[in-house]
Amino acid sequence: MQELIPWLEEHFRIIREPYARVLSGGSTGGWISLAMQIFYPDFFGGVFSLCPDPVDFHYFQCVDIYEDDNAYYKERGWLRVPTASDRRTDGIVTLTYQQRNHFELTLGTKGRSGDQVDIFEAAYGPIGEDGYVKPLFDKLTGEIDREVAEYWREHFDLNHILQTNWSELGPKLRGKIHIYTGDMDTHYLNNAVVLMEDFLESTENPYYDGVVEYGDGQPHCWGPRGVDLLMLMARHIEKAGEG
């Protein structure tokens, strides 16, 4: 934002207008591209987000960080069921959330494994008194820290940010949001997309006027790619430039 894009636009034949700055990415890049469009709505002209990482932390994969007491189990009455992490497209669970995080813990304490959940926490979390990122949950037991969950909500829960700021963001994001994900995403990322779609479809003054599409039975990371994606982006830019 401050160095790379200005340098590129100064040294190359690039249209230096918001409508011509279009974002895309998949998985973590899907989240980042969507976040950049939301955080800088005036600077970018559209996003084509593929299988984004959790966009609503009611579904941080299979963990509801606001309502669940423990990231490793779903507790209903006397039942205690392990929380899933990964699955096949036929629904068979291949990894539990406890297994994933205990594996990360063996690679490094204090969020230093460099693996997926530790990366999430490094990106979203506040800094603790020891100088390391303050974890969302106890890596050994799975107990969720409500204070950290609230920090995540206010700073990085993209659907929450849209919902609480739509009167300001809506006019700037109209027609710019395009999201694609498989409805059997390997990491259950489609569930959070559904929550965001529910909100976007409810919007008024303005209606979001974008796209949310699901690949039937498709895993991580489904969505338009290569020439198909470039053509979608090109048509979007052309339409915006004409307006």
| pLDDT exceeds cutoff 70 at 23 | yes
CB contact set of 42 (below 8 Å; sequence gap of 6+): 18, 172
| pLDDT per residue as tens digits for the range 101-142 | 999 999 999 999 999 999 999 999 999 999 999 999 999 999
**78 versus 182: which is more confidently predicted?**
182
Q: How much is the mean pLDDT over the chain? A: 96
| pLDDT per residue as tens digits for the range 163-209 | 999 999 999 999 999 999 999 999 999 999 999 999 999 999 999 99
Do 79 and 151 fall within a single domain? yes
Range of the structural domain that residue 193 is part of: 15-56+157-225+233-242
Do 131 and 85 fall within a single domain? yes
69-97 average pLDDT score = 96
The pTM of the full predicted model, rounded to 2 decimals, is 0.95
Residue with tokens 């423990």: 70
Do 81 and 111 fall within a single domain? yes
- How many angstroms separate the CA atoms of 187 and 88, rounded? 9
Do 162 and 220 fall within a single domain? yes
- How many angstroms separate the CA atoms of 157 and 172, rounded? 19
Pairing of strands 79-82, 73-76: antiparallel
Which DSSP helix (H) or strand (E) runs through 24? Answer: strand 22-26
134-155 average pLDDT score = 97
Do 193 and 81 fall within a single domain? no
Structure tokens at 73: 């189990």
| pLDDT exceeds cutoff 90 at 41 | yes
Do 210 and 171 fall within a single domain? yes
Confidence (pLDDT) at 224: 96
46-58 average pLDDT score = 98
Confidence (pLDDT) at 76: 86
Residue 184 lies inside a defined structural domain of this protein: yes
**Is 59 exposed, middle or buried (CB count within 10 Å of its CB: 0-12, 13-18, 19+)?**
buried
Do 163 and 148 fall within a single domain? no
Confidence (pLDDT) at 243: 64
- How many angstroms separate the CA atoms of 155 and 148, rounded? 11
Confidence (pLDDT) at 4: 95
